[in-house]
Amino acid sequence: MVSDEHDLLHPHLDDDHEETYYEKRIIALCNLLMDKGVITSGELLEVLQENQALNPSIGAKVVARAWNDPDFKQRLLNDGKGALAEMGITLKRLDDIVTLENTPSVHHVVVCTLCSCYPIPLLGPPPEWYKSEVYRSRVVKEPRQVLEEFGVEVPAEVEVRVVDSTAEIRYLVLPVRPKGTEGMSEEELTELVTRDSMIGTGLISVPSAATAV
């Protein structure tokens, strides 16, 4: 008989959400681990609540700090975990995180071809499209076309690098800082940074009022 504690997993999915193949496997595995006494419902609930509290604004603050502080930016590129620790960000259950800097000559885009490995401590739970087989297969084969469908047109002279996340290493894309933001504070810059720009499937747009100075 299935225990009521197994329902812990389901309220964290949208009412109209149809569970994917991988979500069903994860739920089944969690239920099995609870049945075997490997984890408790309390421990599982704690993890779910932690993940719900995470969102892209955490990563956005990191990007804004890197834009405004060249020394921090270099530390972030050289030692992701160490730089994040300076901001009080801990990477529980995550071995390492690598920051990929977008430049005028290189554009990075992140995928997990095997499942949906994602920097949850920085960006919160991954979007549905990131977990889809369509995105995971197509972005490797035809990255420019996929990016165009996201509204990102990468010039022909700019190299597109597709980076594959793993269970041990996750990636954070450091977007190119938009022109006209030189006088902005970290708080103002944070508001500009989007989740997709930190995956590589989005660009940062600056409100016209911010550039009309």
What percent of the chain has a predicted confidence (pLDDT) above 70?
A: 81
Using alpha carbons only, give the angle 17, 23, 26 rounded to the nearest 5 degrees: 145
3-class DSSP state of 45 = helix
Could you list the active site residues? 112, 115-117
pLDDT confidence of residue 51: 62
Taken as a whole, the chain contains a residue count of 213
| Overall average pLDDT of the 95-119 stretch | 94
Highest mean pLDDT pick, 50-54, 140-144, 164-168: 140-144
Mean pLDDT of the chain: 86
Whether residue 62 contacts residue 122, with contact meaning beta carbons closer than 8 Å, is answered with yes
Q: Which two tokens stand for residue 163?
A: 């980076």
- Cβ-proximal residues to 183 (8 Å cutoff; 6+ apart), any chain: 213
Residue type, 177: R
What is the value of pTM for the model shown?
0.77
